[in-house]
Structure 1
């Protein structure tokens, strides 16, 4: 009689544990991808600044 209740309770706890672990994994993946995206944007901004400096040098030489 109580064996069915104990199995149901154990399955419910395993299911709850799986949902909690899944939620933690989801949050960690969002944070990680956000950090990677910020690093990529920083790299792109640095490359754009470098290209702007090159263009300014070329345009200043052409004006002479």
Structure 2
């Protein structure tokens, strides 16, 4: 696995997000249902440049959608 950005504080993640991010996988939600456990996450490899450890595509989306808030 390539060198990734340092992890954010554990309190910033739910348990499932933490599993993804700490294993080097993108935890962005792709779809969400009304039942617990129905969240589908991206799971692509994390980008080494992503502050949130998202994949290249989701990291780029976050920077494009709200550049002032990215990384806060």
Q: TM-score, normalised by structure 2?
A: 0.20
Q: TM-score, normalised by structure 1?
A: 0.22
Structure with higher Rg: it is: 1
Higher RCO (CA-CA < 8 Å; seq separation 6+): 2
